[in-house]
Structure 1
């Protein structure tokens, strides 16, 4: 395999034309973007519903939570709305921005400000209360994330505004429907097929049906849970938020890797897919005169990792939002450590860990080391062998393995 061609394939954007009723839009995609290589039925339901709802005036604001590849906000833009789009994952946020720019009416994007796309998990403080006439929610897979999205949509909508919510049944669409009814007072099933459903609700008054839902502490973007942990022989406080990987406890696999990775003082370390910052803080403690860079695609993971590093008093840490290694494309490191994601929504996508392995190799100095932890059933040895020319195994346990390689050239 040509490694450079693999990296290029992951980083190459594709544009497709999609027709939804009378709206024709361009949708951007690449590996790592939601629904890449296929269609997302819930997003399709939302797009059709938006296309059928022409606004009473051009420029009416619409809010889109979980914007994915940008299909739904692009359709909203095509029928006259001024969309505000949010996604917590950097590749999705970039796809949405590209979709909106490519779908803008001919000439309208020239000299105009960039689309209102936010790489963020929280709407507040970016959107004023009562400022939107339409809100769409492509539900996330975690229960608290759904709850927060419904509450934020209610807050952003003006009285008379409509909320549309869609997701797969096995992602929690039925409980989400109950949440919608609790907050708005009533909800209606608009569509269901392919194991998915879409519901709608209208905001009929300023006060929500269930006041308790609006007092969830996580609506404050500065609210974190802080838990003491021990990893890699050092203790520190881990700051997390809902939706961040393993946010309620120290992930077993990361704990195993923290105990086994070798980092010498003075070395530079890249923590690729850092989550809340466990591996990065352990590395920073191991190389006090060196440096650690933590990267993650999840906007809230970045904020958690930054706080974890501050609480641990690690001044040699730099935390950045990044789609794999894009944010450090010009840098190289002595060590790369990673507990890479392999899920995209509910599915498994090996294009993501392949990109992690290829880009880790590209970011290592000659002689630099990769340490990667994974579920032992995942076929990462083949991927590492293709890129590094060898596989080194540091741990082969009942559930997890720690494997890697050394860059030779």
Structure 2
């Protein structure tokens, strides 16, 4: 992993952050370009490690994809069905590239995807849905091979859990399948609606995205388009929690507060001032923080699982107790060990993190265990007295572009120290 963050805590944050395009929208959009017969341009895509991995997947399968300034341009869809094993293993979202390859070429080959170690993330919902659409699936060693000998055909599918990834996979498969598909029990996250909006811009027929029932009329071909992905509500949540923890006043622009409203509501209950407009949120914290008892994550529109560690970091110095239960991933709070190193009074019990009041946090050397847990440790370091070091920052690069520089522009004392060979 590349470099460490060196952070001297105790400085309040002040300034404005424009929120970039959402990683969790851009990755399925890049997978969707495989369905398109013409060029696709995605606007203002941040330089994230996961985006680079997605571009490697497209190029490795014969596609033509590159960055042009702040945009990503996909000029040609892949021509081969095999995804690069090394790139696919690095990222959970690589599974999303299988359905469009299957739809376009009749076959897709990959390895089981990797990503952050936050718990079981099975692909069985993806595969069972694809089977309902006519796919055949088999494993050969570590490889997963999908075929559709007679093409994909519409079906009536009910998901037993509203998985975001499975919903995206089945939208991508159904968009050009023969006939009609009804997907019940679908995820309702705004990134689902963003993917559907892109596909419809390219000529797909999709109704109900953003609700639990989505109906798709398959189209033989899709065109290309220029598209601006939605803003990243988890990045916005990160800077909101950083301001709550460190104190000060931060304005977040370009991201609808409605997409991360549960987190803002909890910050307000903790003692922050939160002012919202259609595309702007202003978070201020100049007094003490208070605990809020027990909160839960859940499927949208509940508190996002990705926001749980970030919120926990803001709760570390609150004057009363809080706890967060994550109902999605069993190892969401791998960052708890790092919190304890800073002096946080935390305890994990199953999927729940309990946080007791800590008078102060002290500098420590910690390791980012995963993407959001790593960002949460950076937030804790912003509060800790003294100079801290956060290692394994490559995890953080998967979801945050120029994280140190942007925090520095808000007044944080943070630098990145690159190790030899990074």
Say whether the fold is shared (TM-score over 0.5).
no
Hey, which of these two has a bigger chunk of strand by percent? 1
With normalisation by structure 1, the TM-score equals 0.33
With normalisation by structure 2, the TM-score equals 0.32
Q: Which has the higher contact order (CA 8 A, sep 6+)?
A: 2
